[in-house]
A = this chain, B = another copy of it.
Amino acid sequence: MDKSSLFHQFVTFTATVHQVTHELTQNVTVANITPLQYKILEYIKVSQPVTPTEISECQHMSLPNTSRELRKLQEQHLIEKYNDTEDRRKQYIRLSNEGDKMMEEAFACVEERFLQLIQHATQEDLKDIQHALSILEQKVFHQQD
């Protein structure tokens, strides 16, 4: 097995993933949300509750910039902050009802497009896809933090 050719396949693959996810998430949001804010909300949605520091690390942005974006999201009533009872420096962020509703709608829209992408897949194909995703999660993309 040539690791170098695997690398090239990997590069092509990730480029394609970027392109396709861009197409899937294009113009999904109703509210006045920037792409970065969408990513943050997406992360909160699947990982809540999260701290600003966690968002900062996962999204590769500085804490000041994270703080700014979270403030904007809070001003739009899409997220809520609450303090840790033990360590009062810490905050936890979660989606507000409004924010959750918005993300549910956004996900529904993306899901619809996703389903079109796999519309011709047989039951067998779906199993293959799920298995492939698991393999890559485990053996390549597994986050080592």
Contact = CB atoms under 8 A, between A and B. Distances in A.
Contact of A21 (B14, B114, B130, B131): B14
Main SS class of interface, A: helix
Contacts of A117: 140-141
A15 B46 contact: yes
Nearest to A128: B135
A98 interface: no
Contact of A13 (B4, B18, B137): B137
B115 A3 contact: yes
Interface of A: 1, 3-4, 6-7, 9-23, 26, 39, 42-43, 46, 58, 60, 107, 110-111, 114-115, 117-118, 121, 123, 125-137, 139-141, 143
30 contacts: A1-B123, A3-B126, A4-B111, A6-B118, A6-B129, A7-B111, A7-B115, A9-B130, A9-B134, A10-B114, A12-B137, A13-B133, A13-B141, A14-B17, A15-B42, A16-B141, A18-B18, A18-B21, A19-B58, A19-B143, A20-B141, A20-B143, A117-B140, A125-B139, A128-B139, A129-B135, A129-B136, A129-B140, A132-B132, A132-B133
